[in-house]
Amino acid sequence: MKIFARDSAGTDLLRLVLCAILFTHGAYRFYEGSSPILGQILEEEGFPHGSGTWLAYAVNLTETVGTVLLALRLLTLPVCAALTVIYTTGIILFHRHNGFFVVGPGTGGWEYSALLITCLLVTAWEELKLKIPAR
């Protein structure tokens, strides 16, 4: 399968832009060194003591290495599933308490995460369509 094809240009563009955004998000957290802070927050939210930092680094690896794989159309379904779980968990633990809007009428809401999840599901659906021939 091609990384970018004429027949699937719309969803390919969506996938590649999504990967660029998520890669940047994870890479910046590595760069600035805030993974341990995210780990602390996860433990404060109820994850077992000592697991938060490990989970935070797993999130960062999924956002960086996972999105490179996703851009190359490798392991698309597992990467989309993992990222969907990550952003759904983020909504449940953090963003839902702040309402819907990220900015404007509110701050820190879940609208951006909902958009990311939708893009991930579209990407996964497109991959399934490519693997399962039409009848």
For position 129, what pLDDT does the model report? 86
1, pLDDT greater than 80: no
The whole-number pLDDT of residue 6 equals 87
**Spatial contact of 19 and 50, defined as CB atoms under 8 Å apart:** no
Q: What are 6-50's pLDDT values in tens digits?
A: 888 999 999 999 999 999 999 999 999 999 999 999 999 999 999
- In sign, the C-alpha dihedral spanning 10, 124, 119, 31 is negative
CB 12 within 8 A of CB 5: yes
Q: Give me 125's structure tokens.
A: 């659906």
Query: pLDDT (tens digit, 9 = 90+) per residue, 70-120?
Result: 999 999 999 999 999 999 999 999 999 999 999 888 889 999 999 999 999
**Tokens 């993992």 map to which residue?**
82
Phi, psi of 103 (to 5 degrees): -140, 170
What does the DSSP assignment read for 73-96? TSSHHHHHHHHHHHHHHHHHHTGG
Structure confidence at residue 104 (pLDDT): 84
**Per-residue confidence (pLDDT) for residue 120, from 0 to 100:** 98
For residue 132, the model assigns a pLDDT of 80
The angle at the Cα of 71, spanning 70 to 73, to the nearest 5 degrees, equals 60
The domains of the chain are located at 9-131
Phi first, then psi: give them for residue 125, nearest 5 degrees: -60, -45
Closest CA relative to residue 64, chosen from 43, 82, 52: 82
pTM of the complete model:
0.91
Tokens of 30: 């590595």
